[in-house]
């Protein structure tokens, strides 16, 4: 696993219940701000193996990006079970639900 992918896995594990992060946000936090698509690939290939809370990652518009009906509804149900309100067309209020991690001062650059 590349260092970037390891960071992605750890960041996704860190998203708390009842919060969401965007693919781009995860990519930025993992050290590669333009790698949102790689985050998608990592989620697709590693979610089950690493037991990632994949349902907490959404697109930059605050929408559930999954096209498959079964997966879409699974993500909606999982988020609602954590108290996240899903609006029309699967839109989530990022002002209210987006995870804003706080890192110790020593980790900031």
CATH number for 80: 1.10.10.10
Decide if 81 is inside a domain: yes
pLDDT score of 108: 43
Query: What would the DSSP string read from start to end of 14-65?
Result: HSPTT-BEEHHHHHHHTT-TT-HHHHHHHHHHHTTTTT--GGGEE-TTSB--
pTM score: 0.89
At a CB cut-off of 8 Å and minimum separation 6, what does 17 contact?
53, 82, 83
- For position 34, what pLDDT does the model report? 95
Determine, yes or no, domain membership for 106. Answer: no
- Residue 85 falls within a domain, yes or no? yes
Is 26 part of any domain? yes
The overall average pLDDT reported for the chain is 91
Q: 109 in a domain, yes or no? A: no
Q: Quick check: is 23 in a domain? A: yes
The DSSP secondary-structure symbol of 8 reads H
Segment 20-46 shows an average pLDDT of 95
Q: Model confidence at 65, in pLDDT bands (50, 70, 90)?
A: confident
Task: Determine what percent of the chain is predicted with pLDDT higher than 70.
Answer: 94
Q: What's the pLDDT score for residue 90?
A: 82
Task: Tell me if 13 is assigned to some domain.
Answer: yes
Return the higher-pLDDT residue of 108 and 107.
Answer: 107
* Residue 97 domain boundaries: 3-101
Structurally, how many domains does the chain consist of? 1
Q: Supply the pLDDT for residue 88.
A: 85
């Amino acid at each position: 696993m590349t260092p970037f992918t390891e960071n992605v896995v750890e960041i996704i594990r860190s998203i708390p219940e009842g919060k969401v992060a965007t693919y781009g946000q995860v990519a930025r936090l993992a050290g590669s701000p333009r790698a949102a698509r790689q985050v998608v690939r990592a989620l697709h290939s590693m979610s089950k193996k690493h037991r990632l809370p994949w349902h907490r990652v959404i697109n930059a518009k605050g929408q559930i990006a999954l096209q498959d009906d079964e997966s879409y509804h699974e993500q909606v149900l999982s988020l609602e079970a954590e108290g996240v309100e899903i609006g029309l067309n699967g839109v989530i209020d990022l002002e209210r639900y987006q995870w804003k991690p706080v890192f110790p001062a020593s980790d900031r650059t």
